[in-house]
Every structure is written in C-alpha cells, then in structure tokens.
Amino acid sequence: MKTRLSAFLSAILLTALISASEDPFGRLGFLLGAWSGTGSGFGSDSSKIEAQYQYLMDGEYILATHDSRFEPTPSKPEGEHHMDYGIISFDKHRDKIVYRQFNIEGYVNQYVLSDSLSTSNKLVFLTETIENFVPGGKARWSIEKISDDHIITSFDVSFPGKQYACFGTNELIKIEPK
C-alpha cells in the first residue's frame, strides 16, 4: 500500500515539475525578433509594415509592436499611418495565451489564442472583448508560419450577424532574430 501511494505521489510531483518547466510561449517562439514586409487591404492597395516581438519583464510577457504606413489613395492623399502595441501574457488559471492590443485608432482588442483553430503552422487569435468598436463586433488575427523567417498575417472582422471578412493581410520576413 505504501509503495503504491509513494509511486502515485511521485507521478503527481513529476507531472507538476514537467508542467512548471514548460514555456507557455513555446508556440510563439518563432515570432521573437524584428520583421519587415508589405501589406494589402485595410482600405489601401499597399502598405509597408515593421513588426517586433520581444520578451518583456524577464520573459513573463511578450511585447508586440506593429507600425504600418499606407500608400496614398484618392480619399486619403497623404496615406495613413497605423500603430499598435500589445502585450501577450499567459493566463495560468485558464491555461490560455491572451493578447491585449492597443491601436492608435482607439480600439483595444483582447484576444485569446484558439487552441481548436490553431495548428503547428498557424496561430489563430479570437477577440474576447473589443473596446470602442461596434457592439457585438468580433475580430480574428491569424499568423501563418511559412518558415522560421517568413510569416503571413491576416486580420478579419465580423460585424453583428455577419460572417468574418478579411480586412487585410501582411507578408513579413524576419530581419533580426530575437
């Protein structure tokens, strides 16, 4: 009886130690570093984008920054400039990766990484809440890993009662590793 109890407790302890040592951001590791590329959509035919992902506060978080410059259009002859900053964290109670994104336009998105929609080569984040947007609207941000230094991102929006529609895509190449 003692041997069984001892083996059972050892198995629980070993499982806890293995879980504690796993990096909750392991699936996002390929993103770390600086990226540069081009985009389309978002109301303009083309844009240039710079993005960076870096550990913050001893690896407790990942800081995400995106800076896009859009080509002029007839309705916006000076072009547009979009910036957003985000913090990616790991919610231990829900066992979920959460991404809080603050946009220059005043939108604040809180996404959660969808395990059911994500694969080893594609990460799909779905909004839980959006501040300063149409009530009931949703957003989806996807990152497709083409290789360790090549990604394609897409941003989709759903208005109440409507299906998701792609608002824009970006193709990025890593210019500086983590």
**Is 26-177 a domain of CATH 2.30.110.10?**
no
Cα–Cα distance, 89 to 96 (Å, whole number): 9
| Mean of pLDDT values over 28-57 | 92
Over residues 130-149, the mean pLDDT reads 96
Q: How confident is the model at residue 177 (pLDDT cuts 50, 70, 90)?
A: confident
CB of 166 within 8 A of CB of 28? no
Is 121:104 a contact under the CB 8 Å cutoff? no
Per-residue confidence band for 155, with pLDDT thresholds at 50, 70 and 90 = very high
CA dist 153 and 155 (Å) reads: 7
Q: Which of 13, 21, 68 is nearest to 46 (CA)?
A: 68
- Residue pair 39/171 in contact by the 8 Å Cβ criterion: yes
User: Does 178 score more than 90 pLDDT?
Assistant: no
**Cα–Cα distance list, 94 to 90, 91, 97, 127 (Å):** 9, 6, 9, 15
Q: How many CB atoms lie within 10 A of CB 5?
A: 9
For residue 109, give both structure tokens: 């998105």
Of all residues in the chain, what percent carry a pLDDT higher than 70?
87
For the record, the structure tokens of 171 come out as 């193709």
Res. 122: pLDDT tops 90 = yes
User: What's the length of the chain?
Assistant: 178
Evaluate whether 47 touches 68 at the Cβ level (below 8 Å). yes
